Amino acid sequence: MTKEDNKNKTFKNAKSKRTERFSDMLLQVTTDLAKTKSLDEALETLVKITTSTIGAERGTIFLNDASTGELYSRIAQGNFRREIRILNTKGVAGWVFSKNQGVIIHDAYKDERFNKAVDVRTGFRTKSILCAPLRTIAGEEIGVSQILNKIDGEFEQEDLDLLEAMTEQAAIAIQGNIIVEQIEAARKQELEFLDVVSQVSSELELTPLLQKIITTISTMLDCERATLFINDEKTNELYTEVGEGLDEKSIIKFPNHLGIAGTVFTSAKPVNIPHAYADLRFNPSFDKQTGFFTRSILCMPVFNKEGKTIGVSQVLNKRGGSFNAEDEKRLAAFTSQISMGIENAKLFDDVQNQKNYSESILSSMHDAVLTIDENGIVKTCNTAGLRILQVPILAEILEQPIKEILGERNEWLINKLEDVTEDEDFLDAEIALEGEKLSVNVSLLPLLGQKKENLGTMLMIEDISSEKRMKST
C-alpha cells in the first residue's frame, strides 16, 4: 500500500469518525430533549449538551419574540426565572439572527458587534464566541444558540457545523415546547380572566371596584402600575382616586383632552408607547411629583354598551420589555367586560350620594318625616320623628306597624293614613302621646310608583305646641 493510499485511508477514517461523532451527538440531543417536560428544561438541556460537546465555558439559547422584535433568554434565580431581552438586531446574537448565519469570533473585545456592558454587569470575561441561528427543519429561524470561551484552543468551522446541526435537531422539541407553553399560558389566562371578570362584576361600590380593576390589570399584563380614569361629564375631566402609587386621599383630575389619556379618550383609539419620554404627548410632571420613572405606556379607551367612551385604562412599564399586540388585545377584552360593572357602580355611587344627601336633609329637619309602606310598616324615620313620637332609638320604630307606634288614642290619624290616595292631606290637629297631647300640623302624602301603583305614605308632623301655648297666653 502506497503512502497516498495510507493518506486516503487515514482521511476516510477521520471523516468516518467525524460523521459518527455527529450522529452520536444528534442522537444524544434527540434522546435527551425527548425526556424534557417543559421549555425551560429543554433549553437548559440543549445548553449543557452544546457546551460540553464543543468544550466551552458558557452557553445561552435566545428565542425570538416576534411580537416585540426581541431575543430573550431565561436565567434561573433561586426558585424563579428571569428573562433577559435584547433587540433581535443588536449584539452578536442579534447580528446572527438578522443575517440568519453563524459566526466565529476569536477575540470578542475586538469585534464591534460585541456588547461589553454584559461582561461589566456579570463580572464574566468573554474571550471568544461561537454563535449559530436556531432553525427548524423547515428552515424557520426561531432563535440563536451562543456559546462562549472554548476551553482548549479556538472555535473552528467544525464546531460551528456541529452547533448548527445540534440546534437544528433540537429545534423540533423546542418548538413543540413553545407551542405547549403558549397553549397552557392562554388557557391559564382565560380561566383567570373569567374568574376576575366574575369577581369584578359582583362589586357595586365604585372605589373598591376600581381598586380591584387596577390590581387585576397589573397582574394580568405584568406591569408596574395601572390606573383607571373615569370621565366626569359635568366638568369634562378625567379623574381617578384609586391608582398604584397614589396616596389613599389623592385624587387626580385633568381636562379630558390633555395628555396621553386625554388623546385616547377624545380619539377613542388605543395608544401604545414603548418609550414615554420620546413622545411629546407624555407629561413628565407626574413622574416628578411621585418619583416614579415611566418607560412604556399602554392606554386603552373604555366603552359602555352603547359604544360611548366613559373612561381610559392606562398601564405603565411592562416588565421584561414593551407592551405588545397581545397585551392590547387582553386589555381591550378586559375593559369591554368590566365597563358595565363600572357604569353600575357609578349609578350605585350616585344613588348612594343622593340617599346620603336626602338623609342629611331629613336629619337636620325639625319636623318628623316617616315613610310607611302599603302594609302600614314604618320604613324610615328621621331624628325629629324619634323626638316628637317619643321613641328612644331608631330600631324601635323601623319595621314596626304604625298602628303600634301611634296607639289607639290616635286612631283618627291611623284611619287617615289608610285613606290617603293620590292627593296630599293637610291637618291641624292633636296627637296623644304618653302623658301629654301635642298640637301638630300633619301632612299625608301618597307614595306612588312609576305606574301610579301605591307604595305607601309619607307622614310629616310639625310640632306647634309651643306656638299654641304662646297664643293662648
Residue 103: all three cell numbers together = 459566526
Mean pLDDT of all residues in 33-58: 84
Distance CA 298, CA 300 (A): 7
Q: Where are the beta strands (DSSP E) in 237-383?
A: 237-240, 252-255, 271-273, 297-303, 309-318, 368-373, 378-381
pLDDT tens for 233-246 read 889 999 886 655 55
Determine the CATH number of domain 14-184: 3.30.450.40
Q: What single-letter amino acid sits at 44?
A: E
Tell me, what DSSP letter sits at residue 460? E
The residue among 464, 458, 426 whose CA lies nearest residue 443 is 426
Residue 464: all three cell numbers together = 306647634
Within this chain, domains 14-184 and 365-472 share the same CATH topology: yes
What per-residue confidence (pLDDT) applies to 11?
45
Mean pLDDT of all residues in 206-223: 78
| Residue 147's pLDDT band (cuts 50, 70, 90) | very high
Helices 39-54 & 157-201 angle (0-180, nearest 10): 170
pLDDT tens for 83-97 read 788 888 989 999 999
What per-residue confidence (pLDDT) applies to 244?
57
Q: Is residue 305 over pLDDT 90?
A: no
203-359 is classed in which CATH architecture?
2-Layer Sandwich (3.30)
304 CB-contact burial (10 Å; exposed 0-12 / middle 13-18 / buried 19+): middle
Bridge partner list, 454? 448
The pLDDT > 90 percentage for the chain reads 18
- What does the mean pLDDT of the chain come to? 80
Instruction: Let me know if domain 365-472 sits in CATH 1.10.10.10.
Output: no
pLDDT tens for 79-129 read 556 678 888 898 999 999 999 999 999 999 999 999 888 888 878 899 999
Q: Is residue 269 over pLDDT 90?
A: yes
| Residue 341's pLDDT band (cuts 50, 70, 90) | low
Domain boundaries, the chain: 14-184, 203-359, 365-472
Contact between 51 and 131 (Cβ < 8 Å): no
Spell out the residues 6+ positions from residue 192 whose beta carbon is closer than 8 angstroms to its own: 220
Q: Is residue 322 over pLDDT 90?
A: no
